[in-house]
C-alpha cells in the first residue's frame, strides 16, 4: 500500500505545475487584449552613397569527365587571380562561392540524355566604389579569357552596421512623435510604452550598372557615379494608457 501511495503523490507533484502552467496560458495569449492600446509605426531613412563596387563573374565548364570540368574551372579562376595580381590592383577581394558540379542533361524532342558534366562557379571581385583601379580590374578580366561580368554598386555591410543605432533611435523617436500626436488629438492621457518590435531590414544591394557586358565592350566613360541608396529602419511600438 505504501508503494501505491508514493506513486500517487508523485503523480500529483507532476500534475500540479502543469495545471498551473495551463491556467496561465490564456493570460499570456490575451496580454494585448487586456489593456487599451495605441499602436504606431516608426520609420527612419538615410540616403547613403554606395561604398563598394562588385564585379560578378559566372564561370561554367562542360566536359565528359568530372575531373576535366573541375580542372578547367580552376584554371579560369587561377588565371583571373593571376591577372589581378599582375595588374597590381590595390584593395580588392576575390571571393568564390556557389561551386557546383552537375550532370549535363540535354533535352531534345521530348526525351533527355546525359552528356557529361557541367561545373559552375560564381566569382566576385569586391573593392571600394572609388577605387582608381576599376578600369584595371576590367582589363584583368579581359586578359583572363572569355568572361562576361556584371557590375553593381552597393552599401557595404560594415557601413550599414555603423548606422544601425542612429537609424533605430530615429525610428523610435518617429514612433513616439506619432503616438503623442494621436494621443493629444484624441485627448488620451498618460500613454506609456507597452511593447516594441523591430522589423528586420535586408542588406542593400545596388542595381546593376552593366548587364552581362563583355570586357571588350567596356569603356572608361561608362564608369558613372552610382545613385545614393536608402537605408531604412522600421519599428512597431504599442502604447497603453
Distance CA 74, CA 82 (A): 12
At 194, is the pLDDT very low, low, confident or very high (cuts 50, 70, 90)? very high
Q: What is the pLDDT of residues 132-142, one digit of tens each?
A: 999 999 999 99
SS (H, E, C) 47-91: EECCCEEEEEEEEEEEECCHHHHHHHHHHHHHHHHHHHHHCCCCC
The CATH homologous superfamily to which domain 52-154 belongs is: Protein of unknown function (DUF541), domain 2 (3.30.70.2970)
Tell me the whole-structure pTM to 2 decimals: 0.68
At 17 the pLDDT is: 53
C-alpha 208, offset from chain centre: 16
Domain residue ranges in the chain: 32-50+156-241, 52-154
Distance CA 212, CA 152 (A): 11
* Cβ neighbours of 102 (radius 10 Å): 11
Q: What is the pLDDT of residues 1-12, one digit of tens each?
A: 454 444 444 545
Mean pLDDT throughout 163-168? 95
Q: What are phi and psi of 202, to 5 degrees?
A: -75, 155
- 32/237: higher pLDDT: 237
Find the helix or strand (DSSP H, E) in which 167 lies. Answer: helix 164-185
- 28/205: higher pLDDT: 205
Q: What is the CATH number of domain 32-50+156-241?
A: 3.30.110
Angle (CA) 24-28-32 rounded to 5° is 145
> 239 burial class (0-12, 13-18, 19+ CB within 10 angstroms)?
buried
Distance CA 238, CA 194 (A): 5
Distance CA 40, CA 103 (A): 53
At 27 the pLDDT is: 39
Is residue 106 predicted with pLDDT exceeding 60?
yes
Query: Beta strands 148-154 and 52-63: pairing type?
Result: antiparallel
Distances in Å between the Cα of 221 and the Cα atoms of 142, 143, 218 are: 17, 20, 9
Q: In sequence order, which residues have a C-beta less than 8 Å from that of residue 199 and are 6 or more positions away?
A: 233, 234, 235, 236
Amino acid at each position: 500500500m505504501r508503494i501505491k501511495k508514493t506513486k500517487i503523490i508523485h503523480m500529483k507533484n507532476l500534475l500540479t505545475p502543469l495545471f498551473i502552467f495551463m491556467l496561465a496560458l490564456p493570460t499570456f495569449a490575451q496580454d494585448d487584449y487586456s489593456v487599451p492600446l495605441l499602436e504606431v509605426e516608426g520609420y527612419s531613412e538615410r540616403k547613403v552613397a554606395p561604398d563598394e563596387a562588385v564585379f560578378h563573374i559566372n564561370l561554367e565548364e562542360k566536359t565528359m569527365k568530372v575531373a576535366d570540368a573541375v580542372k578547367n574551372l580552376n584554371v579560369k579562376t587561377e588565371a583571373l587571380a593571376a591577372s589581378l595580381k599582375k595588374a597590381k590592383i590595390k584593395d580588392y577581394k576575390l571571393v568564390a562561392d556557389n561551386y557546383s558540379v552537375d550532370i549535363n542533361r540535354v533535352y531534345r524532342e521530348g526525351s533527355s540524355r546525359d552528356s557529361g558534366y557541367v561545373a559552375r562557379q560564381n566569382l566576385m571581385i569586391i573593392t571600394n566604389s572609388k577605387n582608381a583601379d576599376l578600369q584595371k580590374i576590367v582589363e584583368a578580366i579581359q586578359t583572363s579569357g572569355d568572361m562576361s561580368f556584371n557590375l553593381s554598386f552597393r552599401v557595404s555591410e560594415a557601413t550599414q552596421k555603423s548606422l544601425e543605432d542612429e537609424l533605430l533611435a530615429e525610428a523610435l523617436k518617429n514612433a513616439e512623435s506619432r503616438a503623442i500626436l494621436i494621443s493629444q488629438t484624441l485627448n488620451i492621457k498618460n500613454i506609456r510604452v507597452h511593447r516594441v518590435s523591430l522589423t528586420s531590414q535586408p542588406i542593400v544591394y545596388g542595381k546593376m550598372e552593366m548587364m552581362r557586358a563583355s570586357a571588350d565592350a567596356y569603356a572608361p566613360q561608362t564608369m558613372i557615379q552610382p545613385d545614393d541608396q536608402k537605408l531604412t529602419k522600421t519599428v512597431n511600438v504599442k502604447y497603453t494608457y
